[in-house]
Amino acid sequence: MNFDHPDSLDTQRLISDLDELRAGQPTGLPRYDFAHHRREAEDELVSPTPVIVVEGILVFVSEALRNRMDHRVFVNAPEEVRLERRVARDKSTRGRTENEVRERFAQSVRPMHSAFVEPSRRFADQIVDGTESLECSVQAVWETLPVK
């Protein structure tokens, strides 16, 4: 299964959960075990807040999901940076070897980025530099939000 393709995601569930939060209702968000490629048995109960952050590299692919977002931010980073971050993450949290990560990147991540992620940047209200510090990116986004 190609986990970097939008069809691998339960986008309808995400939309439903987001609708509940936007309506002021708590919801149970699924937790995922990336090492074993499956959902965990119990959801994580999340309460609504004034600001809801929906994060993910494929969140702009679905028009229905995009339409529920008040402000869309695309984090732009060069391929080399994305690859090195993925290697570090997958080695430390997903039990993969560097070689496995690099092979998966070449076979599925890079092609899916080209097919879905990069084209979806046109739906962003704001693009931030993914090589800047997290603090700089958050500040840049915060300054553009209509409600604080």
Query: Does residue 84 form part of some domain?
Result: yes
Does residue 1 lie in a domain region?
Answer: no
**Residues 141, 138: Cα–Cα separation, whole Å:** 5
| Amino acid letter, residue 84 | E
Asked whether residue 95 is assigned to any structural domain, the reply reads: yes
Comparing C-alpha atoms, which of 35, 36, 30 is closest to residue 11? 30
In a domain, 104, yes or no: yes
Res. 17: pLDDT tops 90 = yes
Rounded CA separation 17/6 (Å)? 18
Q: What is the pLDDT of residue 34?
A: 76
- CATH code of residue 24: 3.40.50.300
DSSP 65-118: HHTT-SS-EEEE--HHHHHHHHHHHHHHHS---HHHHHHHIIIIIHHHIIIIIH
Give domain status of residue 83, yes or no.
yes
Q: What is the mean pLDDT of the chain?
A: 93
Predicted TM-score (pTM) of this structure? 0.86
* In the predicted structure, residue 35 carries a pLDDT above the cut 80: no
What is the per-residue pLDDT for 33?
81
Whether residue 148 has pLDDT greater than 70: no
* pLDDT confidence tier of residue 46, bands split at 50, 70 and 90: very high
Q: What single DSSP character describes residue 135?
A: H
- Token couple for 126: 């704001």
Determine the Cα angle at 34 with ends 79 and 97, to 5°. Answer: 60
* Enclosing domain of residue 40: 6-144
